[in-house]
Amino acid sequence: MNQSYSYLVWSQFKRHRLALVALGLVVGLGVIALCASWLAPFAPNHYDLEQILQSPSFQHWLGTDDLGRDVLSRLIYGARVSLSVGFVAVGIYVAIGIFLGALAGYYGGWIDILLSRAIEVMMCFPTFFLILAVLAFVGPSIYNIMIVIGVTQWTGIARLVRGEFLKFREREFVLAARQIGASNFRLIFKHILPNSLAPVLVSASFGVASAILTESALSFLGFGVPPEVASWGAILSDSQSYMDVAWWLTLAPGLAIFLTITAYNLVGEGLRDAIDPRLRG
């Protein structure tokens, strides 16, 4: 009985127990982010000056901050911000990387040389400091962060797709399609690209974790989302002045960032192991 490729990948992925647990956490975080308006017990910017720096209690499960805002509510809304940045930024740079990598790998020649040099130039710049420099000019906002991360981190995907296209463009099924008159567009998008996407999905999973960490770091430094927007990095930044009297302000967002990044990295590792044919029995 022939099994589909997706079924084989899923069967292999399920053997990675930690990755399976991490996938459940990723799905749960997605549900929390989508349903933040219903799940959060308070509005993210609901001030209660009588509840300033209250420790965790039945009313405020994760305590309150220096303005009396409920930390749990801000964490729930912060999940929406972090995951939005992660998925949109990764979507932008995956699209750019696939497009440029496909051009370089399929056509070769001067196009490959030009795009490869552009990739090498982009890789010379420290990405995080490049993002800081750009945000210093365009100003902090969630949309600017998405776009800046997206247009500065496409090089890895481009190199990966280029390598896959170089490998597949001389395969028998591509040569046969070319002989019967298939256009370049059909060869790229019908025959080569679908066979090149598996490692891209693995890289995208790691990329979401990296984008979330970048957004948190930017918000922690004050270059991220505006102050009125709940963000894990901003909550962590606000906690610096109260670490000795309000431990929950540091623990809650720090743990949220750690668990989310770890979960996406474990999912990426599980996908990588599942897609690698050498690991299948």
Q: Where are the alpha helices (DSSP H) in the chain?
A: 5-14, 17-34, 36-39, 71-107, 109-124, 127-138, 142-152, 155-168, 172-179, 184-186, 193-221, 232-238, 248-275
Residue 280: predicted pLDDT: 46
Buried b (16+ CB within 10 A) or exposed e, 81-92: bbbbbbbbbbbb
Per the document, the length of the chain is 281
pLDDT per residue as tens digits for the range 73-122: 999 999 999 999 999 999 999 999 999 999 999 998 899 999 999 988 88
What proportion of the chain, given as a percentage, has pLDDT over 90? 42
pLDDT per residue as tens digits for the range 224-265: 888 778 889 989 888 888 888 888 899 999 999 999 999 999
pTM: 0.88
Give the pair of three-digit tokens for residue 138: 């365009």
Give residue 138's identity as a one-letter amino acid code. V
Distance CA 60, CA 65 (A): 11
On the question of pLDDT at 207 being above 80, the answer is: yes
On the question of pLDDT at 2 being above 50, the answer is: no
Contacts of 111 (CB under 8 A, 6+ apart): 103, 104
Residue 278: predicted pLDDT: 53
Residue 251: predicted pLDDT: 92
